[in-house]
Amino acid sequence: MNAATESTLHFVDPRQFKARTAEAVDDAHLRASFRSAMDFLQTKRAAHFGNVDEFEALRGVGRAIRQYSLAKLPELLPQLEAKLTALGVQVHWASTPEQANAIFLAIARAHGAQGMIKGKSMVSEEIELNHRMAEQGVDCLESDMGEYIVQLAGERPSHIIMPAIHKTKRQIAELFAARIPGVGVTDDVDELIAIGRRVLRNEFRDAAIGVSGVNFMVAETGSLVLVENEGNGRMCTTVPEVHIAITGIEKVVERWDQVLPLYALLTRSATGQAVTTYLNVINGPRRAGELDGPKQVHLVLLDNGRSQAYADADFRPTLQCIRCGACMNHCPVYARIGGLAYGTTYPGPIGAIISPHLLGLEPTQDLPTASSLCGACGEVCPVGIPIPDLLIQLRHAAKHDALPGHAPLAGQASAKDWKEALAWQGWAWLSTRPTLYRAAVAIGRRLAWLTPPWQGGWTQHRTPLKLARRGLRERLAQREGRH
């Protein structure tokens, strides 16, 4: 395939979140890009959901479908598998990214394929398919325009729906000119898209294997449903002789008629569209007498920590997500730092609540703290995930042992700090002993002049904390005495 696949960018450590956040906030260009993109997406969504009652009614249906599907998940998955198998789809299961990559590699080897053409799939990002295949000499080429741009630049997607949202057309023009032979610099968007179309069209025509994600799976009918505007998803799932779909185990619903309300919510929440250009419903490989469509269809069902979220009734709503991106589009933190700062496949509020299950709490402990708890994410979520509540629970899980009746999460209490814990315990002890408390505060006030001007992270952006000369209690007592 072409030069696009040379560069590899390995996993960015989410432990560096705070450092990258500082860099992102200082990048005026990046902030302006995200601000305008978020305003654009918010306005487009709002045009559809102006009537709150209508939105709530539709969201109620979406939430009920997702909760119902999750409650039945242990039954729906085998039902889906049986139906797909009957249709001729080969179903594979993977607990870990390594297992999923091994399946992809085995299929590529079995067909002697040197490369794969990819439609948009966040789950394939999750398993770092491109890099793992490149290590084995198999080139994966992204074909979603945004993903293609990001791959060409050797970067990661910064948004789950609009992967190249952090780049300007000028940057993309320079990237194309530098990386695609025979292309000059043009910042005409139609021309840029025409260039991408021309390059990728040859790849669709010649690729032996097409890869895609899945938006919804239907257990009763064995359907794989893909939602898209560009047509690259249809290309990848129709033209190559082999189609490999990969998705998370939570994406299944029971009945076909349950897809339509979710579709209505997904497209309006994601990009403010009533419908996408294509809703592509796939029911197995090419049948006898048919003249196109893949001869083989594979489905890889990935767990990668989802069953941990499932096991705890408190965290299970995390899996209701239909990946619309509305939570990040409305998040004041995401809008200021962008998607790359998170270092995880899924950025923004959904990333902060799903990543601790995918990667463990140890490397992701800072992500749930990247929220002012303003509640916008929960307000716009089309399937009613209580995102702010989940953020608070994950903050707690990072600092404390599991509560009685709850199994510990991977990395539970990894952010626990004995000094901090001791300080809180001491404060609790003191606060429940009024005489001692008053004495301690009185001493503290006398010694307020000793307060150091430098107080760690706090004073980086704020004035130092200092005990006031007179406390609230004292002031109130004085005021009441006056009346």
Partner 1 sequence: MTLPDTRSARDAILGALRRGAPAPALPLPDLAPYLTGRYGRGSIGARIDPASLIEPFVAAAQGWRAEVLRATPADWPQVLRGALATRGCRRIAIGAASPLQPQLDIALAGLEPRRFERPIEDWKAELFDAVDAGVTSTLGGVADTGSLLIRPGSGEPRTLSLVPPVHVAVLAASRIYASLPAAMQALAPTDAMPTNLLLVTGPSKTADIQQVLAYGAHGPKELVIVLVDDLEGAA
Q: Which of residues 160-219 bind partner 1 (CB under 8 A)?
A: 162-165, 167-169, 172, 189-190, 192-194, 196-197, 200-201, 204-205
> Which CB, 403 or 447, lies closer to partner 1?
403
The label of the residue with tokens 């509305």 reads 326
In the set 115, 146, 317, 347, which binds partner 1 (CB under 8 A)? 146
Report the distance separating Cα 255 and Cα 252, nearest Å: 9
Q: To the nearest whole angstrom, how small is the minimum distance from the Cβ of residue 140 to partner 1?
A: 17
Q: Segment 298-317, which members bind partner 1 (CB under 8 A)?
A: 301, 303, 307-308, 310-313, 316
Residue span 47-66 as binding mask against partner 1, x where in contact by CB under 8 A, dash where not: -------x--xx-xx--xx-
Which residues inside 93-132 make contact with partner 1, applying CB under 8 A?
A: 93-95, 99, 102-103, 106-107, 110
Of residues 14 through 43, those in contact with partner 1 by CB under 8 A are 36-37, 40
- Tell me how far, at minimum, the Cβ of 106 lies from partner 1, in Å: 5
Write the burial class of residue 273 (CB in 10 Å: 0-12 exposed, 13-18 middle, 19+ buried): middle
- Looking at the Cβ atoms of 17 and 66, the one nearer to partner 1 is 66
What single-letter amino acid sits at 89? V
With respect to partner 1, which residue has the nearer C-beta, 64 or 177? 64
Which class for 283: exposed (0-12), middle (13-18), buried (19 or more C-beta within 10 A)?
middle
CB-count exposure of residue 106 (10 Å: 0-12, 13-18, 19+): exposed
Could you give the string, one character per residue 231-250, with x where binding to partner 1 holds by CB under 8 A and - elsewhere? xx-xx--xx-x-------x-
Closest to partner 1 by CB, 216 or 263 = 263
Residue 341 touching partner 1 (CB under 8 A) = no
Query: Which position among 1, 141, 270, 282 is part of the footprint of partner 1 (CB under 8 A)?
Result: 282
Q: Are 288 and 278 contacting, i.e. CB atoms less than 8 angstroms apart?
A: no
Residues 6+ apart with CB under 8 A from 118: 124, 129, 130, 140, 141, 142, 143, 144, 147, 210, 211, 212, 236
- Would you mind telling me the total number of residues written for the chain in this entry? 483
Q: Which two tokens stand for residue 217?
A: 């799976």
Interface pick for partner 1 out of 5, 121, 124, 143 (rule CB under 8 A): 143
